[in-house]
């Protein structure tokens, strides 16, 4: 089991461990421990060794090594890095090497982190189970016959299995929080634009966010401190300098916690309901006031999200045509360029991605645009307003992250049922607000222990309060310390 982010960084900075030793320990854990879960797509050992060596040299030379010096971090396979392959879980990007580096990984490296490799995800981040990955699915470390959640399932599984102290994921409708929840780790989706999207392969550009998956809240704050901030290469990045999120964990003061009635659904698993009750009681015991609030638009979140996200995806994925980007099918005699596009895309994209492109093209087409896309944008505005008025009554919202613990691989064949896994998470993306999932308890299902999670949401740029409350909750329990049996 790896140490946490802050623990590792301190040990290396104080000379108790070298960055190279930390990396080698991490690489051997991956080699021996990642056979059943398969969370890594590529382990980029040589590139990582060069980074670790540079950190050790800098320490030896007495130079400032940065807050994450020597911390091994895994990167979801849809965030590009130079000199390393990015596949996005898709055949169409097999062998793809980006000519440029994402801002988030660039900042991690500048802070001294060592990027060990890429983690499997659902193809182009579309999914809730990491079963839609061209190189195969990822197992949940708590029970490898179950899914780790998705789409950042590889990142969540790698952290939960103790292979790495932290990983980056991306969240368009829940893809950091839902797998964090199903794997029993902490997953933070920052406010839209708080972390630059430069170098994140676009899925739904108005919803996509990069964020950390870690073992606890201080580690998430430490990563956010490094990756957050304005970036001139992403015109949607928030242009104010971020506060110190680690320092914010020490904040005190009165707190009103809202519990959305619509998230206490009778369909929720009893252990999920118990976790929310426990979190509420803990916060009350710590002096917070709790109030029940209405998020009536919850029921329309999935419909809104799946129109906006597929519309944006159909346009974003148009670039993968086998000519400008992506793997090209071989051209048959007599074929037109149009045929070549169709075959390259037909062979390169998996069924879920093709479904999304078709849905998105449909909702944007003349005659349907007003009925679907425009309507979804109107619903989006209403959801936004509803969150705004709820946050006039409370500082944060508390509820479940998912309705159920991890499900068995292959057990959800119907796409709509899979889409409904995100019913409590899509709201934060639609409204652009920050949200976090932390372990909230455990339950026995068919003889195995599985984690359940709770979600906190805060107003736009309310990460300091969000992290403070999440940390308060974590300090009052041991849920986040429980790890899957080896």
Residues classed as catalytic: 76, 151, 175
- What's the burial of 91, exposed, middle or buried (CB within 10 Å: 0-12/13-18/19+)? middle
To the nearest whole angstrom, how small is the minimum distance from the Cβ of residue 78 to ligand GLN?
A: 9
Q: Which is nearer to ligand GLN, 304 or 465 (CB)?
A: 304
Q: Which of 39, 44, 87, 128 contacts ligand GLN by CB under 6 A?
A: 128
To the nearest whole angstrom, how small is the minimum distance from the Cβ of residue 241 to ligand GLN?
A: 27
Please tell me whether residue 167 binds ligand GLN under the rule CB under 6 A: no
To the nearest whole angstrom, how small is the minimum distance from the Cβ of residue 272 to ligand GLN?
A: 18
Round to whole Å and give the CA distance between 150 and 129: 4
Contact 430, 380 (CB under 8 A): yes
Round to whole Å and give the CA distance between 435 and 457: 4
Q: Which residues pair with 211 in a beta bridge?
A: 169
DSSP H or E run through 115: strand 114-119
Q: Which is nearer to ligand GLN, 178 or 474 (CB)?
A: 178
Please tell me whether residue 395 binds ligand GLN under the rule CB under 6 A: no
DSSP H or E run through 448: strand 448-457
The contact pattern for ligand GLN, residues 174-213, with x = CB under 6 A and - = no contact, is xx---------------------------x----------
To the nearest whole angstrom, how small is the minimum distance from the Cβ of residue 45 to ligand GLN?
A: 28
To the nearest whole angstrom, how small is the minimum distance from the Cβ of residue 101 to ligand GLN?
A: 21
- What's the burial of 449, exposed, middle or buried (CB within 10 Å: 0-12/13-18/19+)? middle
- Please identify, among the stretches 19-27, 85-93, 170-178, 224-232, the one whose residues bind ligand GLN according to the rule CB under 6 A: 170-178
Please tell me whether residue 155 binds ligand GLN under the rule CB under 6 A: no
Please tell me whether residue 143 binds ligand GLN under the rule CB under 6 A: no
**What is the signed CA dihedral for 260, 266, 267, 269, rounded to 10 degrees?**
90
Please tell me whether residue 172 binds ligand GLN under the rule CB under 6 A: yes
Round to whole Å and give the CA distance between 467 and 450: 24
Q: Which is nearer to ligand GLN, 171 or 395 (CB)?
A: 171
- Please identify, among the stretches 124-132, 223-231, 245-253, 266-274, the one whose residues bind ligand GLN according to the rule CB under 6 A: 124-132
To the nearest whole angstrom, how small is the minimum distance from the Cβ of residue 170 to ligand GLN?
A: 6
Please tell me whether residue 422 binds ligand GLN under the rule CB under 6 A: yes
Q: Which of 200, 309, 353, 412 contacts ligand GLN by CB under 6 A?
A: 309
Residues in the chain: 486
Q: Which is nearer to ligand GLN, 26 or 209 (CB)?
A: 209
Half-sphere exposure of 118 (CA within 13 A, CB side): 23
To the nearest whole angstrom, how small is the minimum distance from the Cβ of residue 258 to ligand GLN?
A: 23
Query: From residue 468, how far is each of 224, 382, 396, 440, 444 by CA, in Å?
Result: 13, 28, 10, 16, 30
Round to whole Å and give the CA distance between 198 and 238: 13
Nearest to 410 by CA among 220, 225, 136, 187: 136
Please tell me whether residue 90 binds ligand GLN under the rule CB under 6 A: no
Please tell me whether residue 88 binds ligand GLN under the rule CB under 6 A: no
> What phi and psi, each to the nearest 5 degrees, are found at residue 132?
-95, 65
Q: Which is nearer to ligand GLN, 19 or 201 (CB)?
A: 201
Q: Which is nearer to ligand GLN, 137 or 170 (CB)?
A: 170
To the nearest whole angstrom, how small is the minimum distance from the Cβ of residue 28 to ligand GLN?
A: 31
Please tell me whether residue 77 binds ligand GLN under the rule CB under 6 A: no
To the nearest whole angstrom, how small is the minimum distance from the Cβ of residue 421 to ligand GLN?
A: 7
Q: Which is nearer to ligand GLN, 203 or 407 (CB)?
A: 203
Contact 164, 72 (CB under 8 A): yes
Contact 187, 437 (CB under 8 A): yes
Round to whole Å and give the CA distance between 408 and 248: 39
DSSP per residue, 256-305? EEEEEGGGS-TTS-HHHHHHHHHHHHHHHHTT-EEEEE--TTHHHHHHHH
Tokens describing residue 309:
């996200």
- Please identify, among the stretches 122-130, 194-202, 386-394, 457-465, the one whose residues bind ligand GLN according to the rule CB under 6 A: 122-130
Residues 228-247 that bind ligand GLN (CB under 6 A): none
Half-sphere exposure of 130 (CA within 13 A, CB side): 43
Contact 125, 90 (CB under 8 A): no
Cis amide leading into 189 (omega within 30): no
Instruction: Give the CB-nearest residue to ligand GLN.
Output: 175
Please tell me whether residue 87 binds ligand GLN under the rule CB under 6 A: no
Please tell me whether residue 321 binds ligand GLN under the rule CB under 6 A: no
Q: Which of 77, 101, 143, 171 contacts ligand GLN by CB under 6 A?
A: 171
Q: Which of 139, 153, 162, 173 contacts ligand GLN by CB under 6 A?
A: 173
Residues that bind ligand GLN (CB under 6 A): 125-128, 151, 170-175, 203, 309, 422
């Amino acid at each position: 089991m790896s140490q946490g982010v802050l623990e590792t960084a301190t040990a290396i900075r104080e000379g108790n461990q070298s960055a190279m030793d930390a990396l080698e320990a991490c690489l051997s854990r991956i080699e021996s421990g990642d056979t059943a879960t398969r969370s890594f797509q590529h382990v980029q050992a040589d590139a990582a060794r060069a980074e670790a060596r540079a950190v050790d040299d800098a320490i030896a030379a007495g130079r400032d090594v940065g807050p994450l010096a020597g911390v091994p971090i895994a990167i979801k396979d849809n965030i590009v890095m130079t000199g390393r392959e990015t596949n996005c879980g898709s055949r169409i990007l097999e062998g793809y090497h980006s000519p440029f580096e994402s801002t988030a990984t660039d900042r991690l490296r500048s802070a001294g982190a060592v990027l060990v490799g890429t983690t499997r995800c659902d193809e182009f981040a579309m999914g809730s189970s990491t079963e839609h990955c061209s190189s195969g699915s990822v197992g949940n470390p708590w029970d490898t016959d179950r899914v780790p959640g998705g789409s950042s399932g590889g990142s969540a599984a790698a952290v939960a299995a103790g292979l790495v102290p932290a990983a980056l994921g991306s969240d368009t409708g829940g893809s950091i929080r839902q797998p964090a929840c199903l794997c029993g780790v902490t997953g933070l989706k920052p406010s839209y634009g708080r972390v630059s999207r430069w170098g994140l392969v676009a899925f739904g550009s108005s919803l996509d966010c990069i964020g950390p998956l870690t073992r606890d809240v201080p580690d998430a704050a430490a990563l956010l401190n490094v990756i957050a901030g304005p970036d001139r290469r992403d015109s949607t990045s928030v242009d104010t300098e971020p506060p110190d999120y680690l320092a914010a964990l020490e904040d005190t003061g009165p707190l009103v916690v809202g519990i959305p009635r619509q998230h206490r659904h009778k369909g929720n698993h009893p252990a999920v309901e118990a976790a929310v009750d426990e979190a509420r009681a803990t916060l009350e015991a710590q002096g917070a006031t709790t109030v029940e609030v209405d998020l009536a638009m919850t029921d329309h979140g999935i419909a809104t999200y799946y129109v906006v996200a597929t519309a944006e995806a159909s346009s974003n994925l148009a670039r993968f045509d086998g000519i400008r980007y992506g793997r090209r099918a071989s051209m048959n005699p007599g074929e037109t360029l149009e045929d070549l596009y169709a075959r390259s895309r037909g062979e390169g994209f998996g069924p879920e991605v093709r479904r999304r492109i078709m849905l998105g093209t449909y909702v944007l087409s003349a005659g349907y645009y007003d009925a679907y896309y425009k309507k979804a944008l109107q619903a989006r505005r209403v959801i936004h307003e509803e969150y705004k008025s709820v946050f006039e009554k409370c500082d944060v919202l508390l509820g479940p992250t998912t309705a159920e613990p991890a499900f068995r691989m292959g057990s959800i064949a119907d796409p709509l049922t899979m889409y409904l896994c995100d019913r409590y998470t899509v709201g934060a993306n639609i409204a652009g607000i920050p949200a976090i999932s932390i372990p909230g308890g455990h339950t026995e299902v068919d003889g195995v222990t599985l984690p359940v999670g709770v979600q906190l949401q805060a107003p736009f740029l309310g990460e300091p309060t969000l992290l403070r409350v999440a940390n308060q909750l974590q300090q009052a329990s041991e849920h986040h310390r429980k790890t899957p049996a080896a």
